[in-house]
Amino acid sequence: EAEVAQSPRYKITEKSQAVAFWCDPISGHATLYWYRQILGQGPELLVQFQDESVVDDSQLPKDRFSAERLKGVDSTLKIQPAELGDSAMYLCASSQTGGFYNEQFFGPGTRLTVL
Amino acid sequence: GENVEQHPSTLSVQEGDSAVIKCTYSDSASNYFPWYKQELGKRPQLIIDIRSNVGEKKDQRIAVTLNKTAKHFSLHITETQPEDSAVYFCAASGAGSYQLTFGKGTKLSVIP
SS3 (DSSP) at B31: coil
Q: What residues of chain A lie within 8 A of the CB of B103, using their CB?
A: 42
Mean pLDDT of B22-34: 92
Q: Given an 8 Å threshold on Cβ–Cβ distance, is A103 in contact with B105?
A: no
Mean pLDDT of A26-36: 94
Mean pLDDT of A34-39: 94
Backbone angles phi, psi at A84, to 5 degrees: -55, -40
The Cα of B103 is separated from the nearest Cα of chain A by a number of Å equal to 6
Whether cis (ω within 30° of 0) applies to the bond prior to A43 is no
Q: If you count them, how many residues does chain B have?
A: 112
Q: Which of B4, B6, B32 sits opposite A100 (nearest CB)?
A: B32
Intra-chain end-to-end CA distance of chain A, in Å: 37
Q: Given an 8 Å threshold on Cβ–Cβ distance, is B31 in contact with A107?
A: no
**pLDDT for residue A100 is more than 90:** no
Q: What residues of chain B lie within 8 A of the CB of A108, using their CB?
A: 42-43
**Among A101-105, B37-41, B65-69, whose mean pLDDT is lowest?**
A101-105
Percent of the residues in chain A that have a pLDDT greater than 90, as a whole number: 81
Rounded to the nearest integer, the mean pLDDT of chain A is 93
Mean pLDDT of B51-59: 88
Burial (CB count within 10 angstroms: exposed 0-12, middle 13-18, buried 19+), residue A109: buried
Residue type, A24: D
Condensed to tens digits (0 to 9), the pLDDT of residues A62-91 reads 999 999 998 889 999 999 999 999 999 999
